[in-house]
Amino acid sequence: MIQLTDVERQSLIDLANEARRRAYAPYSNYQVGAALRTRSGRILTGCNVENAAYPTSMCAERVAIFKAVSEGEMEFDVMAVVTPNGGSPCGGCRQVMAEFGLDMVVLIADGEGHLVQETTVAGLLPGAFTPKDLKR
């Protein structure tokens, strides 16, 4: 697991909280923001985007990851996730995170910017199904 300074942690949490303010969540009123740092040092953010047809909504964590992939980045070292109450990423987001590495650090914070939990993707999704589980 990578070592983060308190300043790095708080900076990522603050960026995720800023992204959370841009969330489009008129149905759940549960705004989520994410800030993803790539191994090359880039930081990409995402917010949840809801839709009246609920299954077509997208979580902040996946928005940030998909944005990074679309920009050519596929190696990540840390993601901060901010929700109003410090809620944990959903199962779908955990699975997408696992696709890109179980060792990624995940910072979970509340809407006040307080760190609630620091873990890894492996800690969030023990026994994850990953690309190595597919027969080639």
Q: Which residue has the tokens 């995720």?
A: 16
Identified catalytic residue from 8, 18, 61, 118: 61
Q: Is 61 annotated as catalytic?
A: yes
Residue 135 CB burial class (10 angstroms; 0-12, 13-18, ≥19)? exposed
- Beta strand ranges found along the chain (DSSP E): 33-38, 43-47, 76-82, 105-109, 115-120
DSSP at 88 = P
Q: How far apart are CA 131 and CA 136, in angstroms?
A: 10
Catalytically active residues are 61
